[in-house]
């Protein structure tokens, strides 16, 4: 089940509402990543409190651990991890692709050895749909091949990108058929591929639109390409997708990328950046990024971001977080992850408000100026 209501638009930017089996999602939305059934270092309750509306799970990882026997016993991922709101799962395609030499891709699917126990495994569009049906995620992603930007210094050619995109297109059909056969009650998204080639992106998009899926993603970005290449594809593809369906830009990105993405017509984002950077002492703030490890914060008794209402900013100082990092204390990444996710979620809340009030363009300019100011 999926319905998408387009509430407002301002040029390409859109304010929408997504209704899924586990609840309602206001868009544009940022989705925290919970690879192994946990958003790293963050309690489910904290996620709810900071207004996370939907989180991700990674099909490949969850297939490996805890495995389908466990997830089946719990009737899916929601009860297993204690999360009641909507969830999206990827297809596993990106992860098997990341295994590099350890996997072999054919028309049928991807053969690989389990990185956990060496078991020989075969991931196909059908298997991906079967796993995601067990996970019972609200949004299921088609199985695709993520077209690389380069392999060992060799830039992917247009011919290679076409071959890859066409494979993903055929896998989209097989995904759809298996999803239907399984009578999965959730919503299947197609993924536009085509590398850095606009014509291929258009072809991929056209073919997927014909399948009339409930939503579409733009994949194959944030795969090591230069930033301007990513921005070029982000400017090209999203607004060409059907206006009455949700659009998801996969794996993007920085706060600036998100705001630009919205301007390009994107409704949904996910990225590990807020949590991963948090664990490395890299914090996002309204006035630019802050490196906690910098010695200048040793005696700084101001909050990370004086305009932020998160659990960290409302109770402790930069000096305290600097200290926790220096001591390798677990509370450091815990508070930093809460702060960064809160920053991302609040940013999207502000984006939605500005769209509601028809002043997104002004917001975007103010956002850029604030971020450039520096902490």
- Say which of 138, 144, 267, 270 is annotated catalytic: 270
Beta bridge partners of 87: 55
Single out the segment in contact with a second copy by CB under 8 A; choices: 65-73, 93-101, 227-235, 287-295: 65-73
Interface segment toward a second copy; rule CB under 8 A; list 18-26, 77-85, 170-178, 240-248: 77-85
- Identify the active-site residue in 90, 138, 257, 267: 90
The span from the CA of 148 to the CA of 164, in Å, is 9
Query: CB 192: neighbour CB atoms within 10 A?
Result: 32
Q: What are phi and psi of 176, to 5 degrees?
A: -60, -45
Positions in 254-313 near a second copy (CB under 8 A): 298-299, 301, 311
Q: Looking at the chain, how many residues does it have?
A: 375
Dist CA 201 CA 249 (whole Å): 13
Give the residue, chosen from 329, 353, 356, 361, that forms a contact with a second copy under the rule CB under 8 A: 329
Query: Quick check: is 90 catalytic?
Result: yes
Quote the least distance from Cβ 111 to a second copy, whole Å.
24
Per CB under 8 A, the segment of 70-78, 198-206, 233-241, 265-273 that binds a second copy is 70-78
Least distance to a second copy, CB of residue 372, Å: 30
CB of 102 to a second copy, least distance (A): 20
Among 36, 51, 254, 289, binds a second copy (CB under 8 A): 36
CB of 343 to a second copy, least distance (A): 18
SS3 state at 20: strand
- Asked if 330 touches a second copy (CB under 8 A), the answer is yes
141 dihedral zone (left: phi>0; alpha: psi -120 to 50; beta): beta
Extract the runs of DSSP E, i.e. beta strands, from 169-270. Answer: 187-192, 215-218, 247-249, 268-270
Q: Does 335 bind a second copy (CB under 8 A)?
A: yes
Q: Provide the strand spans (E) within the chain.
A: 2-10, 13-20, 23-27, 29-31, 55-57, 87-89, 103-105, 110-113, 120-123, 139-141, 150-151, 154-155, 187-192, 215-218, 247-249, 268-270, 282-285, 288-291
Using CB under 8 A as the criterion, which residues of the chain lie in contact with a second copy when the complex forms?
A: 36-38, 40-45, 65-66, 69-70, 73-74, 80-82, 298-299, 301, 311, 315-317, 319-320, 322-324, 326-327, 329-331, 333-335
Catalytic residues: 90, 270
């Amino acid at each position: 089940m999926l319905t998408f209501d387009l509430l407002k638009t301002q040029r390409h930017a859109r304010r929408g509402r997504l209704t899924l089996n586990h609840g309602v999602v206001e868009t544009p939305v940022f989705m925290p990543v919970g690879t192994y059934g946990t958003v790293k270092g963050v309690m489910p309750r904290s996620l709810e409190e900071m207004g996370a509306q939907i989180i991700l799970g990674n099909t490949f990882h969850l297939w490996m651990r805890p495995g389908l026997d466990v997830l089946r016993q719990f009737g899916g991922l929601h009860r297993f991890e204690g999360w009641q709101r909507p969830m999206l799962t990827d297809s596993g395609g990106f992860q098997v692709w990341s295994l590099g030499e350890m996997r072999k891709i054919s028309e049928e699917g991807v053969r690989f050895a389990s990185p956990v126990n060496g078991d020989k495994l075969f991931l196909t569009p059908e298997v991906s749909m079967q796993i995601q049906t067990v996970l019972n995620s609200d949004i299921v992603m088609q199985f695709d091949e993520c077209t690389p930007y380069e392999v060992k210094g060799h830039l992917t050619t247009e011919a290679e990108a076409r071959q890859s995109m066409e494979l993903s297109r055929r896998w989209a059909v097989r995904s759809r058929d298996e999803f239907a056969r399984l009578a999965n009650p959730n919503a299947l998204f197609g993924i536009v591929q085509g590398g850095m080639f606009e014509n291929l992106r258009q072809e991929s998009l056209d073919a997927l639109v014909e399948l009339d899926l409930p939503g579409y993603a733009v994949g194959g970005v944030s795969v090591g390409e230069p930033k301007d290449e990513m921005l070029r594809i982000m400017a090209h593809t999203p607004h060409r997708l059907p206006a009455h369906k949700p659009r998801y830009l996969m794996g993007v990105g920085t706060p600036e990328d998100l705001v630009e993405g919205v301007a390009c017509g994107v409704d949904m984002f996910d990225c590990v950046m807020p949590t991963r950077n948090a664990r490395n002492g890299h914090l996002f703030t309204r006035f630019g990024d802050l490196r906690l490890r910098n010695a200048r914060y040793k005696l700084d008794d101001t909050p990370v971001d004086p305009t932020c209402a998160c659990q960290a900013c409302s109770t402790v100082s930069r000096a305290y977080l600097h200290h926790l990092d220096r001591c390798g204390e677990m509370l450091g990444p815990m508070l930093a992850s809460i702060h960064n996710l809160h920053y991302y979620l609040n940013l999207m809340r502000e984006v939605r408000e500005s769209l509601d009030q028809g002043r997104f363009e002004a917001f975007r300019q103010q956002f850029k100026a604030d971020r450039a100011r520096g902490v």
